[in-house]
Amino acid sequence: MIELDDFSVGFGAGTALRGATLTIRKGDRLGIVGESGSGKTMLALCLMGMAPDSAQLSGRLSIDGRDMAGASEAQWQVLRARRIAMIFQEPMAALNPLRRVGDTVMEPMRVHEGLSRGAAHKRALALFEEVGIPEPVDRMRQFPHELSGGQRQRVLIALALACDPVMLIADEPTTALDANVALRITELLVRLARERGMALVFITHDLAAVARTTQDIVVMYGGDMVERGATADVLAAPMHPYTRGLLAARPDPTVPARNADGTRRRLPSLPGSVPPLNALPQGCRFAGRCPVELAHCATRRPATRLVADNRQAACHLLEEQAR
């Protein structure tokens, strides 16, 4: 369905995405993880034809076998309406506070498919049921502020499904929710993807959520795809030092939050943060924060090695070890 080949996004001197290569097929469930600023949302926006005007794009993006380089806004709109839908990172911003949520969900059906009000109402009602909103008839008449965070997220999922997309991109759909509600939302996304045969791209900081939700995972850092593979394999045996750091920084639910003497246990965390785009090293982006850095890491970009079938990582240390 979607193929990215050596795809980059630049802003002036900085690179928000560097040589991204990715294939997404029908029914795939793919997780994209990485710290804030690693390029996850930028990648998603490019797949939707919504990169900012100031971005310089290069490389190849094809959707349904068709090169999208010169696609017009009208062509993208058709794709966005009928093929690819996205749940955006800011749930409140995506819902008009002055409109009843039922009307919001009905709108794309009326605009893009020309459904009558009655037919759109019927379909919206079925979607509200499908995404598990109780008392859907009453809920459809409510305004966003009258719903809980979890219900608002369900409304956004219903909105994304309004025109039966074949791929759903969910950008941090659970970050604003408490753990129990987040769990139910991820279960819902997996069920919808399975039942509809829909591809799911799940963007998150939450490694536990990605483990529950996806089959494959791409780990991003500073605009690079540093590691990828089956989710279970990558989480069980990470190869890139950045992935190892992310996993070590994850709170372990089996470890008590306090030490024996009652003091708060400190979570391990990656030292530092992703530098601004124009300050990233030219070689491996992780150089400067990497605990096992070699002399040439900051200046030479590591090649992406195919370590095993469906398992890749880009790290000089792996190349050294392979020699």
Ligand X SMILES: Nc1ncnc2c1ncn2[C@@H]1O[C@H](COP(=O)(O)OP(=O)(O)OP(=O)(O)O)[C@@H](O)[C@H]1O
Q: Which residues of this protein are in contact with Mg ion, per CB under 5 A? A: 40-41
Residue 133 CA to residue 154 CA, distance in Å, equals 7
Chosen from ligand X, Mg ion, none, partner binding at 91 (C-beta under 5 to 8 Å by type): none
- Asked whether the beta carbons of 81 and 88 are under 8 A apart, the reply is no
CA 195 vs CA 65, 159, 254: distances in Å? 25, 17, 33
Residue 177 CA to residue 152 CA, distance in Å, equals 10
Of 163 and 226, the one with the shorter C-beta distance to Mg ion is 226
* Cα radius of gyration (the chain): 21
CA 174 vs CA 24, 131, 315: distances in Å? 22, 15, 31
Chosen from ligand X, Mg ion, none, partner binding at 16 (C-beta under 5 to 8 Å by type): ligand X
The window from 34-42, 103-111, 260-268, 297-305 that contacts ligand X (CB under 6 A) reads 34-42
Residue 91 CA to residue 103 CA, distance in Å, equals 17
- Say how many residues touch ligand X, by CB under 6 A: 14
Task: Tell me, residue by residue from 59 to 98, as one string, x for binding to ligand X by CB under 6 A and - for no binding.
Answer: ------------------------------x---------
Chosen from ligand X, Mg ion, none, partner binding at 277 (C-beta under 5 to 8 Å by type): ligand X
- Residue matched to tokens 């490019």: 46
Contact between 16 and ligand X (CB under 6 A)? yes
Of 37 and 245, the one with the shorter C-beta distance to ligand X is 37
Q: What minimum distance in Å lies between the beta carbon of 297 and ligand X?
A: 20
Q: What minimum distance in Å lies between the beta carbon of 40 and ligand X?
A: 3
DSSP E strand stretches across 234-314: 305-308, 311-313
Chosen from Mg ion, ligand X, none, partner binding at 19 (C-beta under 5 to 8 Å by type): none
Question: Rule CB under 6 A: which residues touch ligand X?
Answer: 11, 16, 34, 36-42, 52, 54, 89, 277
